[in-house]
Amino acid sequence: MRSKVRPELVAALLEVAGVAPEAARADAAAAWLEAQLEGAQAAFDALAFEDEPAAFVLEMHRQLR
Amino acid sequence: MTPAELLALSATQLAAQIRAGRVRCVQAMEAVLAQAGQVQPRLNGFIRIEAERALSAAHAADREAAAGRWRGPLHGVPMAHKDMYYRAGEISTCGSKILRERPAPRTATALARLDAAGAIQFATLNMSEFAFNPTGHNWHFGHCRNAWHPDYITGGSSSGSGTTVAARANFAALGSDTGGSIRLPATFCGTVGMMATVGRVSRAGAMPLSHSLDRVGPLTRTVEDAAQLLTVLAGADADDPTCETGAVPDFVAALALPVRGLRVGRPTRYFYDGADAGVLSCMEASLDVLRSLGATVVDVDPPDLSAAGAAWSIVATSEAAALHAKWLRTRPQDYSEQIRTRLAQGLAIPAHAYVDALRMRGPAVRGFCDAVFSKCDVLHAPVIGFATPTITESEVGGSPAMMAVLGRITRLTRPISYLGLPALAVPVGFQPNGLPLAMQLIGRAFDESTLLALGHAYQRATDWHQRVPAR
């Protein structure tokens, strides 16, 4: 099972970006990020190895036809 | 024609009156400027009103008309737009402190096309800071207020677009939609909102928030106006590489398409989860009207859209964070707390999650379209599932409750933004609190015509769009 997003990780990534960690309220940001990742994880896991971002445009054109 | 009668006209009706010589462009401009000045202290929908320049342009348009020179289908129609559409050399604040003094580097293609069609811009409109808030709060220019009751939110981020069109202080407005920013103000303010398919309308010269998700579109009083504006706005643009190069339908002509026999889908999952009774009754009543027009209402079972909503959050926040990373580093104090907090969250999103959220988009739209549009031609759904909140109720700033409150507001709009499909918001009545409500009609990719035809037929059978807020 994927480990929880830790607030210290959020703070560290903000530091890497040169942004003061308090800008993002690390606790709340970690909870939010974890919710988004968990919400999408099953769909991400269902992707085929070959799926790529550009397929979206192809799919829209397929719908147009 | 009195100013009140003139202001009651839709944009296309006004254009017809000008063309027929019954209304002068200056007359229309004077009326809308007076109305704008009257409502501004109560609604705060405008950021900058350029009265002198607009009147001068209206005089010029009258002279051209007298000489038989018509610029296009919107000749002389006054409009004001969300303050994120660049005009070269002028300030587009984007609702922010950061861009309050920066002259725009170019003119937006959308503005250039409206100019060429004869529309006259008289003002720029309030909006959420950098278009990244769905309520319409703005801590730099003051919160925008709902024309139906100033204690209530307008929705965002196209807040001024919604409330000024509703207040008859603007004939039509450009908005933009990344996760609901056209459809939410449309439902909260009782206007029409058109979000066309990804690639249908050029985004060149419009402030970017999320390159993968941003869409340009109008908020109008009627579906007919939306069709007219979309006809003007749509089409290939060498300055926007994501713009479709194919032929653009005549959306005005499409209004006459028959709706009898159309299959309208009523979703059996996701869209009505936890919906208020007031929302349910408005939606059911609107379906009854569509049945009376000859449409067939069928139940459809769309895929669960929760993952699409989460993927939207990952894409939008990652891309917005990338756009703002420099200013987050160098000017953090110049953001409001809420926007700074949300943008900074994006800096912590893992790159693989962002890429997966983009990889998922193709399979997601295929799965949705296969499940939905094999059963119906248009999906009918609410824009929001609960009563319009007040400005105070939704004043969450950057608090820990912020993401839950904002996420709830965009729950029914984000997934459609992610899927890239077109959606048309059309007013369908009023909630028990007296605030308006809209349905969103969701279509196949590039099939805006069917949405506009169905929405237009609905408005010919109802009068919700003719209701006017008390002054």
| CB-CB under 8 Å, B307 with A39 | yes
Please enumerate in sequence order all residues whose Cβ is within 8 A of that of B247, keeping only pairs 6 or more positions apart, or say none: none
Question: DSSP letter string over chain A?
Answer: -PPPPPHHHHHHHHHHTT--GGGG-HHHHHHHHHHHHHHHHHHHHTS-TT--TTHHHHHHHHHH-
Share of chain B above pLDDT 90, in %: 97
Domain contains B428: yes
| CB-CB under 8 Å, A64 with B355 | no
Locate A1 and state its tokens. Answer: 């099972």
Interface-testing mutation among A13, A38, A60, with chain B (most B C-beta atoms within 10 A): A60
Interval B414-423: pLDDT, tens: 999 999 999 9
| CB-CB under 8 Å, B246 with A51 | no
The pLDDT confidence band at residue A40, using thresholds 50, 70 and 90, is very high
Chain A nearest CA to B364, separation (Å)? 9
Query: Which pLDDT value is given to residue A12?
Result: 93
Interval B367-381: pLDDT, tens: 999 999 999 999 999
Among A49-58, B80-89, B399-408, which stretch is predicted with the lowest mean pLDDT? B399-408
- In this model, does residue A4 exceed pLDDT 80? no
Task: Count structural domains, chain B.
Answer: 1
Task: Say if A50 is an interface residue toward chain B (CB within 8 Å).
Answer: no
Q: Which one, of A38, A65, A18, lies nearest residue B344 by Cα? A: A18
**Nearest CB neighbour to B311, from listed A40, A59, A64:** A40
Phi-psi category of residue B422: left, alpha or beta, with phi > 0 → left and psi -120 to 50 → alpha: beta
Interval B247-262: pLDDT, tens: 999 999 999 999 999 9
Separation between Cα atoms, residue B157 and residue B338, nearest integer Å:
14
| CB-CB under 8 Å, B198 with A60 | yes
Share of chain B above pLDDT 70, in %: 100
Chain A nearest CA to B318, separation (Å)? 11
Interval A22-38: pLDDT, tens: 888 888 889 999 999 99
Query: Which pLDDT value is given to residue B400?
Result: 80
Separation between Cα atoms, residue B407 and residue B153, nearest integer Å:
16
Question: DSSP letter string over B3-23?
Answer: HHHHHTS-HHHHHHHHHTTSS
The pLDDT confidence band at residue A3, using thresholds 50, 70 and 90, is low
Interval B438-462: pLDDT, tens: 999 999 999 999 999 999 999 999 9
- In this model, does residue B59 exceed pLDDT 90? yes
Identify the CATH number of the domain in which residue B342 sits: 3.90.1300.10
Locate B353 and state its tokens. Answer: 């999650």
Query: Which pLDDT value is given to residue B399?
Result: 83
| CB-CB under 8 Å, A33 with B348 | yes
Confirm whether pTM is higher than 0.95.
yes
- In this model, does residue B155 exceed pLDDT 90? yes
Give the mean model confidence (pLDDT) for residues B253-280: 97
Looking at B331-373, list the stretches that DSSP marks H as alpha helix, in order from N- to C-terminal side.
337-346, 351-359, 361-372
Indicate the pairing of strand B263-267 with strand B215-220. Answer: unpaired
List the single residue in A with minimal CA-CA distance to B313: A36
How many contacts (CB atoms, under 8 Å) link A and B?
A: 130
- In this model, does residue A2 exceed pLDDT 80? no
Residues of chain B positioned with their CB less than 8 A from the CB of A30 = 348
* Selected residues 345-374 of chain B with any CB under 8 Å from a CB in chain A: 345, 347-350, 353, 355-366, 369
Mean pLDDT of chain B, nearest integer: 97
Domain residue extents for chain A: 7-64
The pLDDT confidence band at residue A1, using thresholds 50, 70 and 90, is very low
Question: Which domain, by its residues, includes B454?
Answer: 3-466
Query: Which pLDDT value is given to residue B44?
Result: 98
Separation between Cα atoms, residue B98 and residue B94, nearest integer Å:
9
Residues of chain B positioned with their CB less than 8 A from the CB of A48 = 363
| CB-CB under 8 Å, B353 with A40 | yes
Residues of chain B positioned with their CB less than 8 A from the CB of A14 = 344, 347-348
Tell me the ipTM for this assembly: 0.95
